[in-house]
Amino acid sequence: MTELRLEGVTKRYGTDGSGTVALRDVDLTVRDGEFFTLVGPSGCGKTTTLRAIAGFETPTDGTVRFDGEAVTDAAPEDRDVGVVFQSYALFPHMSVAENVGYGLRYREPPAGTSVDERVRELLELVDLEGMGDRDPDQLSGGQRQRVALARALAPEPDLLLLDEPMSALDARLRESLRRQLKRIQSRLEITTVYVTHDQAEALAISDRLAVLRDGRIEQVGRPREIYREPSTRFVAEFVGDNNVFDASVRGRDGDRTRVAVDGSDREFELADVPAGAERVSFCVRPAALARDADANRFAVEIETSEFRGERVRTYGRWDGGSVVLQFDAETLLPSDPDGLENGATATTDGGTDDNGADGVDDGGDVAIDGDVVVGFAPTDAHVLETHSAEQRR
Amino acid sequence: MKRRALLGAIGSGSALGIAGCLTRDDGGDEEGDGTLTVVTYESMIDTEDSAGPWLKERFEDEFDAELEWEQLPDGGINHYVQRADRDAGIDADVYLGLNVDDLVRVDDQLEDGALFRELDDDRLERADRVRDEFALGDPHGRTLTYDMGYISLVYDETEVAEPASLEALTEPEYEDALLAQNAQKADSGQAFLLWTIDAFGEDGYLDYWQRLEDNGVRVLDGWSESYSGAYMEGERSMVVSYSTDQVYANRFDYDFSRHQVAFPDDQGYANPEGMAIFEGAGDADLAYDFFDFVLSSEAQAEIATRNVQYPAVADEHVDLDEEFDEYAHTPEEMVSFGYDDLQGNLDGWVEDWAQEFAGQ
Amino acid sequence: MSLADRLVVDRRSAGAASAWLERRALSLAALGTAAVLVVVLYLPVGLVFVEALLEDGSPTLGHVAEVVTDPFYFGVLADVFAEPLAIGDHLGALVGWLGGISIAVTLASPVPGLDLPVPWLAVDLPPVRKGLFGFTAYQAALSTVASVAIGLPAAYILANYEFRGRRTLRSLTILPFVLPGIMVAVGFYAMFGRTGTLNTLLGAVGLGPFAFVETSPLAIVILAHAFYNAPLVARLTVSAWESVDARTVETARSLGASPRRAFRDVVVPQLVPAVLTGALLTFIFTFMTFPIVLALGGLQLATVEVWIYDRVQRLAYGEAASLAILETVLSLGLTYAYLRYESARAGLSQAPSPPPREALFPDVRTALSPRRLAILGYGLVALVLFVGPLASLVVGSFTDGSGFTLRNYAFLLERQLEGASFQTRPVPAIRNSLLFGLATLAVAVPMGVVISVLTVRAGRSGRLVDTLAMLPLAVSGVVFGIGLLQGLVFGIPLPGGWRFQVTGAVAIVAAHAVAAYPFVTRNVSPLLATLDPAMVESARALGASRTRALLDVELPLVASGIVAGAAFAFAVSIGEFSSTVILASGSEHYTMPVAVERYLGRRSGPAIAMGTLLLAVTAASFVVVDRVGGRYEL
């Protein structure tokens, strides 16, 4: 259907452009039929980007293209986009059916269907058949959000834009709506841009995603890429839990580089460190810190643990600072049933950010009563940035 | 509905902007087109029994001309002073209802003798019928008096006795009795103020008013508010008003005990009203004809009866009906300030007086 | 293809011109609004204001400085303005004044004419010279307090109780608004005068007569101001009350709040903006009050506007304009302060589900409860204050010296049938009033809405524009009139002997609309500010133009504000006198208030009959306006 491109899009506020900068030189391509997510902390520019795509904001610089055609200055009503807002923004003075049919006042329904048929079709699509005569304020939050989705989709837009559509809903409802949204999106093959601050949601739902920070794109990629190979320290820390280490290069053994982590005497071996680097930052996912790893072992003093069903997330300290670990709950609990109560705090928090993209290295039953020794394979460490001598100055 | 309203706004907005009403002065009326435009105050033409319609009908019959009444704009003489000042053009030929202070204002703002033509008495047959003492005293001879009113006091004889003098009004007998009008705004109020200046002098009138204030005088806005509002609803027992009051009381069956006319010190302040021809008048001959007509015995009687004002001409030139003779009262002595007395003084007198009351 | 389909296709293929127009409708409407404002407001007012700031062609603050340092205008403050740096002297004067205060307990009889001694804490303040501005502000403040105090109970009753004629009564609250000052004065004397209706009634039960007017002219003037403005406060508050979300009250109750606390914590905050709007407008109006003060109170109670009028009469424009500028600065300053407050508390809940109304007198027992008795008592006060003068006017139109008479109406009939072309006839006056009223609605509502739409989310600059948009209310009526005369009636000379002139019906409607649209804006803006901006964006993303989104989504949701504003706009037009009389070119554009004024001769009967007609026509119109408008309210 439609490919979306942003080329050098910049948005400044203030009369002479001297005010705050919301977007800096954003380049982005969303492929036809792709589910693309913009994720980042609040104020990162993700919503501004969405609004520039929808036409609610005009970029100070740069171009927005739908299928190659520049729409930068086109009014929202001329862009054929469907938008779903966090607040639902249903029209309270119209019935559900009128809400869904609203876009068909200005855009033709798909060939061969009447307005009424199209409205019925859409209500069915979002599992709200027979609710057409209700008023929006008679619906639950989830139902309202589905009406908003149906309303946005009714005129068959080229693009579907969703601005934090789930953040007002509770966790369970959010997951089920997410699945429903994904199902509908793949069925319709509609190019979709989804904005969220929730990185777990972003990883779960997207074909590809972009991580934004301070109005800039930090990284674009498929969820697995972003998770496994964050390109910046920010992405590494923002997407999922991560352990980031800063270290100085001590020497090289073939393709391995020996580094000393700041604050600790322990030397680690890393792979893939560019030649000439003096300083290096790298990250290791909690799941990669395994008790049975051969290399790079170090002792961690455990502070707290959170029970998360299948797994236990553990927070601890070592010479080099704090560290996050993850263990398989099955292997942990039977060996020392009191361990959690004595040495750590267990929580049964809803566990919303449990991504579980990787399995846990199972090293057999180990009791956790204060200390644990873990290690990681040099290839599991992902190098984020390096500094050579000249760069440091 | 709302959409149409919106388009309506656009429509009228552009009507203002585009139609914008550009006009071009086309050099005024042609000479002698047989139409006389007379501007006058509303009670001449628009209230019960106004003389205006009668004057128009008779004048048109008699002179085979057309008379157009024009309602005096809200600003009164100021309207025409400003028009002249801004070269905005004046359509009217004649101004009917000019007071002395209007002339003073004209000369203060424009130049001496401006706005109206100096009248040529040779072109008037009946100018000499007008009583000398009613003349406005214009040094530039621009006006002719056509009628006259006396300011007096109207009182309720069941509540107060007839006041013998202005001084008596400051006595306890008349405490909280008198209603007057704002001299800044109302002719009757200004006339009464001038009367007190005549009686107590430029140096003494403020002191007199101070004593009146101490005795509870109420100064309301205009004649209507004080007479139709306060006095007629029994609020007070005495009001500054016109000496023809009983003519109305008779016509509308009011109780005469509340419509007694008093002339303190046997005086009444005279307000003669004049007529004048605008500089740019199209048909001066017709205007002179109109003046003569207004001074005719018949017209003088009609104006007196309908507008309930005194004729400007001597008794032998007008025949008034009995009603007027019986109910319209005349003071033994008339007080009046002419042009020379007012010029350069009036504004200051009024301002000093008004500041006595306000902003304390 | 269904019918609906074809409609859509038709709409899509409709003429490019109309699409162009619709797309730009909002900008065009804004432009139109700006054009009307420039021509009918800024240009005329600017022409006069400039007189204060120019001396022989060069800019000066001399006129203004003269005014602010004149003790007649500014009383004790004049010294401060004259020598702002002599702080020691001013403090000394203040200390001296404070030293002069004495407090004593005495007995006083607060009820005029009744010898009912009440212990009274007498605070004896040494006299302060307030000056004209000080006194004007003082009486305006008192009038505002009185109007709010009298208006709020009415709003409470109209919003919370159901009774026969409630809607009609609500419609008629606007009636006092349209009455010419002279009619109110006559009505007040006829009601409260020594031989007035009230004394007649009291006399029947052996009381009185009381000199209500004479005892305290200031109190009567304040009551007359309340007569005009309490209904304004009431009306604004009722529409706010009706859009209170009852669920918020229920929530508060379920959280353990007593009815009283729930009212204080939940309802009051939602009413405050409306009440403050009413208070602000009342203060501005009564600060610039003119005819009514001198008609009832006398010259002792003269306000700034009286002096502006006098200066204009003497063609002393420099001083008149200086006074007017100071008035305007004060009014706009207050407005700005208020708007800051209003915007600081935006974000109230929307989608009202109005509180249920109780029956006013369901049974005898309830009718005797203290609350119902208090309502009854208030009803009596309202009857005396509002219905009294109006009814006395109506009665006055049917009486003369010999009792009942129809001659006043006979005069109107005769004038209508036989009146000459240069005379004022009743039917054209009624027709013109209604036509101008409707045309004003059609212009002022879009103007007001456009300004609301443009300013509501524009932050500080929006607030500034919004403040300036209140200019029509903040400019002296006398100065506005003179500006219209000099700017539009006389015309602006252009090269080539041309003049730019605007008079007649178009100018009258434009002037009325300019005077009326602030009421629309003030009613609509607060509601608009609470709407979710995503609503408009959703509509636009669905293909609606900005204008369409306004019409489809925003306007229906703020309909109650629009209807309330429209009612005011209509009332402003019907009651407008001063600019109408200046702009009415020739004799054919007079309206009902103008007719009242013109019939005012040596006898007030015909004018009062015309005034009664004005009341009747206005009342009928408002019942219709509210019935029609009511269908648009949520």
Cβ neighbours of A81 in C, within 8 Å: 541
Chain mean pLDDT for chain B: 87
Where chain C has pLDDT below 70, the residues are 1-16, 104, 106-126, 343-355, 585-587, 629-634
Instruction: Enter the DSSP assignment of A360.
Output: P
- Nearest by CB to B359, from C25, C131, C309: name it: C131
Closest CA to A385 of A281, A314, A312: A281
List CB contacts of C513: < 8 A, sequence separation 6 or more. C36, C40, C439, C440, C443, C444, C447, C569, C573
Chain B residue with the nearest C-alpha to that of C425:
B46
| Domain-embedded: residue B11 | no
Token pair in block for residue B293: 């007509």
DSSP string, C472-535: HHHS-HHHHHHHHIIIIIS-EE-GGGEEE---HHHHHHHHHHHHHHHHHHHHHHHHHHTS-HHH
Is the CB of residue C338 less than 8 Å away from at least one CB of chain B?
no
Amino acid B160 reads V
The rounded distance, in Å, linking the Cα atoms of C51 and C321 is 6
Which domain does B352 fall in, by range? 150-269+341-357
Q: Closest-CA residue in chain B for C74?
A: B359
C565 membership: H or E segment, kind and range: helix C559-575
pLDDT, tens only, A152-187:
999 989 999 999 888 878 888 888 888 889 999 999
Number of domains in chain B: 2
**C542:A92 CB<8 A:** no
Chain B interface includes C545 (CB < 8 A): no
DSSP state at residue A163: E
* C-beta separation of C270 from C235 below 8 A: no
With an 8 Å Cβ cutoff, are C291 and B221 in contact? yes
Contact between B8 and C402 using a beta-carbon 8 Å cutoff: no
DSSP state, B296? S
Taking alpha carbons only, the member of C605, C587, C582 closest to residue C420 is C587
Give me the pLDDT at residue C226, please.
94
Q: Which residue has the higher pLDDT, B21 or C50?
A: C50
Is A85–C537 a contact, with Cβ atoms under 8 angstroms apart? Answer: yes
Which pLDDT value is given to residue C354?
62
Complex-level ipTM: 0.87
B50 plus B121 within the same structural domain: yes
**In terms of domains, do B44 and B133 share one?**
yes
pLDDT at C115: 58
Query: How many DSSP H helices and E strands does chain B contain?
Result: 13, 12
B112 pLDDT more than 60: yes
Helix spans in C424-487 (H): 426-455, 459-469, 471-474, 477-484
- Measured between CB atoms, which of A79, A80, A91 is closest to C535? A91
Name the residue facing A106 among C544, C546, C557 (closest C-beta): C544
Whether A356 has a pLDDT exceeding 70, the answer reads: no
For an interface test with C, which of A77, A81, A151 has the most C Cβ atoms less than 10 Å from its Cβ? Answer: A77
Contact A161 C541 (CB under 8 A): yes
Which tokens hold the place of B84?
A: 């002249």
Distance CA A288, CA A311 (A): 14
Residue B139: CB atoms within 10 Å: 13
What percentage of chain A carries pLDDT values higher than 90?
A: 32
Contact A137 C542 (CB under 8 A): no
* B72 in the same domain as B200: no
Q: Do C541 and A83 touch (CB under 8 A)?
A: yes
- Topology of the domain comprising C24-75+130-630: MetI-like fold (1.10.3720)
Q: CATH number, domain at B83?
A: 3.40.190.10
pLDDT at residue A150, rounded to an integer: 93
Q: How do residues C236-294 score in pLDDT, each as one tens digit? A: 888 778 777 777 777 777 777 777 887 888 788 878 888 998 999 999 989 988 778 88
For helices C317-344 and C504-529, give the axis angle rounded to 10 degrees: 30
- Residue A240's pLDDT band (boundaries 50, 70, 90)? confident
Specify the pLDDT at position C272: 87
Amino acid identity for residue B49 in this structure: D
Identify the pLDDT of residue A389.
Answer: 62
Q: How far is B60 from chain C (nearest CA, A)?
A: 14
Phi, psi angle pair for B123, to nearest 5°: -90, 5
Q: What is the maximum span of chain C, computed from C-alpha positions, in angstroms?
A: 90
C634 chain-A contacts, CB cut-off 8 A? 93
pLDDT tens figures, B164-222: 999 999 999 999 999 999 998 889 999 999 999 999 999 999 999 999 999 999 999 88
Please give the distance of CA C123 from its chain centroid, rounded to a whole number: 34
- Kindly state whether residues B98 and B155 are assigned to the same domain: no
pLDDT value, residue C101: 73
Q: Which residues on A lie below 8 Å from C552 (Cβ)? A: 91, 102, 105
Asked if A114's CB is within 8 angstroms of C537's CB, the reply is: no
Closest-approach residue (CA) in chain B for C293: B221
Which residues 439-458 on chain C approach chain B with CB closer than 8 angstroms? Answer: 439, 441-443, 445-447, 450
**Chains B, C: CB pairs < 8 Å:** 269
The highest-level CATH class for domain A4-236 is alpha beta
Summarize the confidence of residues B62-76 as an average pLDDT: 88
Cβ(B152)–Cβ(B265) below 8 Å: no
3+ Cβ–Cβ pairs closer than 8 Å linking A and B: no
Neighbours of chain B (3+ CB pairs under 8 A): C
Task: Enumerate the residues of chain A whose CB falls inside 8 A of the CB of residue C24.
Answer: none
- pLDDT score, position C119: 61
Please choose, from the candidates C617, C85, C608, the residue with its C-alpha nearest in 3D space to the C-alpha of residue C395: C608
Tens-digit pLDDT profile for residues C483-509: 888 888 888 888 877 888 887 888 889
Q: For residue C74, which of C62, C86, C66 has the smallest C-alpha distance? A: C66
Provide the pLDDT for residue A110: 83
Spell out which residues of chain A touch residue C558, defining contact as CB-CB under 8 Å. Answer: none
Edge-to-edge strand ranges of the sheet holding A371-374: A321-328, A311-318, A298-308, A371-374
Q: Which residue of B has its CA nearest to C18?
A: B7
A339: pLDDT confidence band, cut at 50, 70 and 90?
A: very low
- C-alpha count within 13 angstroms, C-beta hemisphere, residue B309: 25
- Would you say residue B133 lies in a domain? yes
Are the C-beta atoms of residues A102 and C552 closer than 8 Å to each other?
A: yes
Residues B260 and B292 reside in one and the same domain: no
C491 in contact with chain B, both atoms CB, cutoff 8 A? yes
Can you give the length of chain A in residues?
393
Q: Which of A347-351, B141-145, C84-88, C625-629 has the highest mean pLDDT?
A: B141-145
Give the span between the Cα atoms of A205 and A192, in whole angstroms: 11
| Same domain? B242 vs B347 | yes
pLDDT computed for residue B288 by the predictor: 94
**Residues of chain A that touch chain C, judged by Cβ-Cβ distance less than 8 Å:** 54-56, 75-77, 79-83, 85-87, 89, 91-93, 102-109, 114-116, 137, 148, 151-152, 154-155, 157, 161
3-state SS assignment for residue A328: strand
Put simply, whether C33 touches B (Cβ < 8 Å) is yes
Whether residue B143 is found in the same domain as residue B284: yes
Q: Is residue B264 situated within a structural domain?
A: yes
Please indicate, yes or no, whether residues B131 and B180 belong to a single structural domain of this protein. Answer: no
* Domain chopping of chain A, boundaries: 4-236, 241-392
Sequence-distant (≥ 6) Cβ neighbours of residue B256 within 8 angstroms: B246, B249, B250
Delimit the domains of chain C by residue range.
24-75+130-630, 81-124
User: pLDDT averaged over chain A?
Assistant: 83
Antiparallel, parallel or unpaired: β A191-196 and A208-213:
unpaired
B71 touches B43 (CB < 8 A): no
Give the per-residue pLDDT at B349. 94
CA atoms of C608 and C606, how far apart (whole Å): 5
Cα–Cα separations (whole angstroms), residue A159 to A31, A111, A147, A181, C12 = 11, 19, 17, 14, 21
Same-domain check for residues B327 and B256: no
C384: distance to nearest CA of chain B, Å?
17
Tokens of A315: 């927070």
| B168, B262 Cβ separation under 8 angstroms | no
Bridge partner residues of B70 (DSSP): B39
Residue B147 has pLDDT above 80, yes or no: yes
User: Do B234 and C193 make contact, defined as CB atoms within 8 angstroms?
Assistant: yes
C24 burial level (CB within 10 Å; 0-12, 13-18, 19+)? middle
- Please tell me whether residues B40 and B70 are part of one structural domain: yes
For A114-137, the pLDDT digits (tens) are 899 999 999 998 889 888 999 888
> What's residue B267's pLDDT?
95
Kindly identify which residue of chain A lies nearest to residue C24, measuring between CA atoms: A75
Interface of C with A (CB under 8 A): 1-2, 4-5, 8-9, 11-12, 23, 350-351, 532, 534-535, 537-546, 548, 552-553, 556-557, 634
Q: How far apart are CA B193 and CA B213, in angstroms?
A: 13
| Cα distance between residue B44 and residue B40, in whole Å | 7
CB contact under 8 A, A137 and C351: yes
Selected residue with higher pLDDT from C250 and A23: A23
Q: If you measure CA to CA, which chain C residue comes closest to B179?
A: C298
Is the CB of C41 inside 8 Å of chain B's CB atoms?
no
Q: What are the φ/ψ torsions at residue C464 (nearest 5 degrees)?
A: -65, -45
Burial call C249-262: b when 16+ CB within 10 Å, e when fewer: beebeeeebeeeeb
Q: Which two tokens stand for residue C333?
A: 């300053």
Q: Using alpha carbons only, what angle is made at residue B83 by residues B77 and B85, rounded to the nearest 5 degrees?
A: 105
Q: Could you tell me how many residues make up chain B?
A: 360
Rounded CA separation B244/B309 (Å): 7
What per-residue confidence (pLDDT) applies to B206? 95
